[in-house]
Amino acid sequence: MFLEERRTHILAFLDKNERATVNQLAALFSLSKETIRHDLNALANQGLVQRCHGGAQIVRKSFQSDLIGSSDSVNIETLLRKINRKKPRAARVERTGQLTGGKVCILGSFNVDIVAKVERFPKGGESIMAVDSALGPGGKGANQALAASKAGADVHFVCKVGKDRFSQLAYEHLSASDIHSFTLYQSESVPTGNAIIYVSQQNGENMIAIHSGANQTITESEIIAIHERLAQSHVLLVQLENNFDATLNAMKIASALGVSIIVNPAPYSHEILPHLSLVDIITPNETEASLLSGIEVTDWKSAKKAAQEIAGKGVKTVIITMGNQGALIYENQRFYEVSAFPAVAVDTTGAGDAFTGALTAAVASGQSIRWAATYACAFASLAVEREGAANMPSHEQVLHRLSQTVRQ
């Protein structure tokens, strides 16, 4: 067994059992205690485990205050060459039914959301009074990590914040959430990202302006440091709120490891276009699908043309979210329309994040794309009935809606 493979297995054992002694691990892997100690020390140096007397315990939450330095001669290309010498994991068998807790790694953003509820959106140059306002956790990555966790996935979330008063908010929010584990990097010089959000009380629609902040400063070394987590995952989920080189490096590592890659191309960036062949599933909304394809999406017919165009660029499966109409799937040159579930919209801010997070959880657990998209539509319908982009429903509530709603 190669060194990296052995350490991955040790980490997986600790992840399942929380802690283990050197003697236990030596007997389990038929290795000397000295070798096990060396492996545990290496994992501890990566921030993945914490050494304790006679053994180690898994680190669920990691607040990485200092920048990680590159190992001697280790860069992305070196890591990819090492990975490519190994056989990728076999594809997972699809099965429709209950979610069973697939493993998901999410590289994404954490933002502080500043939300103003307004009777209507202001016109250019107009000042209006807000009905209410709030400040809380957000960011597409964090929202999708929470949604996937609520949907039953075992999620490891990776993000970056500044060294400011909002960094503690990030740590406390993630620690208190259902997210299984996380790595929280910090930038020395760039503040935590934030989003200014208007929510209309007329129909629950929203307008958002984002300042990415520290989300745009993830380094190559920080991506290399999470490759052990990626190796344990069934799915990598990314969006486009981080600096693209970090996102692309994570995708390259996941591809080399045989890990499925889901991309939520939001906010849209043309940088993703040359790399769509790495993507297993892409989840654009109507606007993003229009930008990806060059075809304006206004209805099911134009959505189908756009989906074919996007698939032609190398994506295996295209899922276009169509708001209150539902979602369009294009897979293996076949179309499937998934109807939306009835909902009384209160706040649509996190609808796309709810859909993508829930879809990812279902895919990671081995579900078919059609069942996963149906589950995600039900999940999103419950999410828009709640205030706040980070306010996600539970798996049990989604199953209840699925069982109670008559599908046409």
- Annotated binding residue 203: no
- Annotated binding residue 324: yes
* Active-site entry in 15, 39, 154, 353: 353
- Annotated binding residue 132: no
- Annotated binding residue 323: yes
- Annotated binding residue 120: no
How far is it, in rounded angstroms, from Cα 356 to Cα 230? 19
How far is it, in rounded angstroms, from Cα 96 to Cα 80? 34
Q: Output the six-digit token pair for 113.
A: 């959301």
- Annotated binding residue 322: yes
- Annotated binding residue 386: yes
- Annotated binding residue 285: yes
Exposed/middle/buried for 396, CB within 10 Å: 0-12, 13-18, 19+? exposed
Cβ neighbours, 10 Å, residue 316: 17
- Annotated binding residue 353: yes
- Annotated binding residue 356: no
- Annotated binding residue 112: yes
Strand partners, 58: 49
- Annotated binding residue 160: no
- Annotated binding residue 61: no
Q: Does the active-site annotation cover 72?
A: no
Alpha-carbon torsion (151, 153, 159, 163), positive or negative? positive
- Annotated binding residue 162: no
Contacts of 83 (CB under 8 A, 6+ apart): 227, 253, 256, 257
Task: List residues forming the annotated binding site for substrate.
Answer: 111-113, 139-143, 241, 353
Binding residues, as ranges, are: 111-113, 139-143, 241, 285, 321-326, 347, 349, 352-353, 383, 386, 388
Annotated binding site for ATP: 285, 321-326, 352-353
Q: Which residues carry a binding-site annotation for K(+)? A: 347, 349, 383, 386, 388
Residues designated as active site: 353
